[in-house]
């Protein structure tokens, strides 16, 4: 996370919560829960992880991109950001 | 998962693997890994969970929808499937 | 659309509206509009087309799947629906 | 598009192609084509428009963000990029 410790802490907190929700998905599967309910719970985990991506990207743009943008790495960083956008 | 035990087992196996990969995301965050690398790893977890959704939906269409489709619940099931599609 | 004429009409109406909004995206690009504004407008078109997908799927589940579900084509239809879900 | 004329031209070319493909979706709907086929064609249009978003974002990062990044607008631009990422 390269020095943006606020983003890092926020992201870690949310990862831990997502892990708890993923345990719940596992329990629902093991307990024969109704399929659409399991999918909804699993989607909530995916949405939570997507939010983690946003927090990390935000920290990255602040702590890395804004500092190095005129350095040699700027072109590489732009490509990386567009690549993250593409694969979403 | 309502009796489609093959889908249930496949989904559970993949959930357990996804949990291992999510542990890796957490370690990367704690270890100050490069942001885009963390996002890529986190995206892989999201893709794995999306695959779990597909497996569960497949089992649901087979074991629930195909059996009850002419019963009272068919309209409700159609709405549920479109709803899953919408929120994706 | 196979006989579900209500879905067909709704989908066609929305396609025509989406085409109008896509013309607007083109005009914004030609007129040097601010990039994030163009992307937001273009996203609105994509969301409108996704809504069209939902309407078509809904009509399909009603008019095709519910009628043929116990026929030879049921397995093929289930695969098609999961496939649509996967590629989203 | 703010001076990045290469991106602008590429985006416009792709918008025009997407409009042609959207005409095809309309014809398929009017001609009672098989629903999953219509959805696949419509998805191709959405994928093409998503590619346009990428091209515009790439041009934006180069022509706007890299120039103004240390100016007053840098914080606003970071928020806009994360916002685009979020809504995807």
8 Å CB contact of C38 and D49: no
Band the pLDDT of D21: cuts 50, 70, 90.
Answer: very high
Chain C: partners with 3+ C-beta pairs within 8 Å: B, D
If one compares D55 and C5, the residue with the highest pLDDT of the two is: D55
Instruction: Supply the pLDDT for residue A2.
Output: 46
**Whether A70 contacts chain B with CB within 8 A:** no
Residue D86 touches partner A, C-beta closer than 8 Å: yes
In whole angstroms, how far apart are CA D7 and each of B7, D57, D79? 46, 9, 22
Low-confidence ranges of chain C (pLDDT < 50): 1-3
More confident residue, B86 or C24: C24
Per-residue confidence band for D50, with pLDDT thresholds at 50, 70 and 90: very high
Residue A82: give its domain's CATH number: 1.20.58.1000
Range of weakest confidence among A21-25, D4-8, D16-20: D4-8
Tell me if D57 sits within 8 A of C35, measured CB to CB.
Answer: yes
> pLDDT tens, A17-26?
999 999 999 9
Q: Which of C11, C29, C43 sits opposite D8 (nearest CB)?
A: C29
pLDDT, tens only, D62-83: 777 666 656 666 777 778 888 8
Kindly determine whether residue B26 and residue A15, on different chains, have CB atoms separated by under 8 Å.
yes
Q: How many domains does chain B have?
A: 1
Angle at which helices B5-30 and B35-60 pack, to 10 degrees?
Answer: 170
Under an 8 A CB cutoff, do C58 and B82 touch?
yes
Q: Report the residue from C23, C32, C50 with minimal CB separation from D1.
A: C32
- Strand ranges inside chain A, DSSP E: none
CA distance D37 to D35: 5
Distance CA A88, CA C48 (A): 19
Q: How far is D72 from chain C (nearest CA, A)?
A: 17
Residues for chain B: how many in total?
88
| Residue A49 clears pLDDT 90, i.e. is over it | yes
The verdict on a CB contact (< 8 Å) between B57 and C84 is no
CB–CB of C22 and D15 under 8 A? yes
B47 touches chain C (CB under 8 A): no
pLDDT, tens digit, for every residue of D24-43?
Answer: 999 999 998 999 999 999 99
Q: State the residue range of the domain holding C51.
A: 5-87
- Identify from B85, B87, B88 which residue to disrupt to test chain C contact, counting C C-beta atoms within 10 A and taking the largest count: B85
Q: Is the pLDDT of residue D7 over 60?
A: yes
Sign of CA dihedral D79, D80, D83, D85: negative
Helix intervals (H) in chain D: 5-30, 35-60, 66-68, 74-87
- What whole-number distance in Å separates Cα of residue A84 and Cα of residue D53? 13
- CB-based contacts of C6, cutoff 8 Å, min separation 6: C59
Whether A86 shows a pLDDT value over 90: the answer reads no
Q: What is the Cα–Cα distance from A82 to A85, expressed in whole angstroms?
A: 5
Distance CA D77, CA C81 (A): 40
- What would you measure as the largest C-alpha separation in chain A, in angstroms? 55
**Complex ipTM, two decimals?**
0.85
Spatial neighbors of D34 by CB under 8 A, at least 6 apart, are C2
Q: What is the pTM of this model?
A: 0.84
* Model confidence at A31: pLDDT above 80: yes
CA distances (Å), A3 to each of A10, A11, A55, B31, B33, in order?
13, 13, 14, 11, 10
Q: Which has the higher per-residue pLDDT, B59 or A52? A: A52
Give the pLDDT confidence score for residue B62 in this predicted structure. 77
Closest partner residue to D42 (CB to CB) among C42, C49, C60 is C49
Instruction: Please determine, for residue B72, whether its predicted confidence score (pLDDT) is greater than 70.
Output: no
Q: Taking CB atoms and an 8 Å limit, are A53 and D85 in contact across chains?
A: yes
């Amino acid at each position: 996370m390269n020095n943006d410790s606020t983003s890092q802490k926020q992201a870690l907190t949310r990862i831990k919560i997502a892990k708890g929700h993923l345990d719940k998905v596992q329990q629902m599967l093991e307990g024969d829960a109704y399929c659409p309910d399991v999918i909804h719970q699993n989607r909530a985990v995916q949405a939570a992880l997507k939010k983690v991506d946003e927090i990390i990207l935000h920290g990255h743009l602040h702590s890395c991109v804004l500092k190095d943008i005129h350095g040699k790495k700027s072109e590489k960083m732009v490509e990386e950001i567009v690549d993250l956008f593409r694969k979403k």
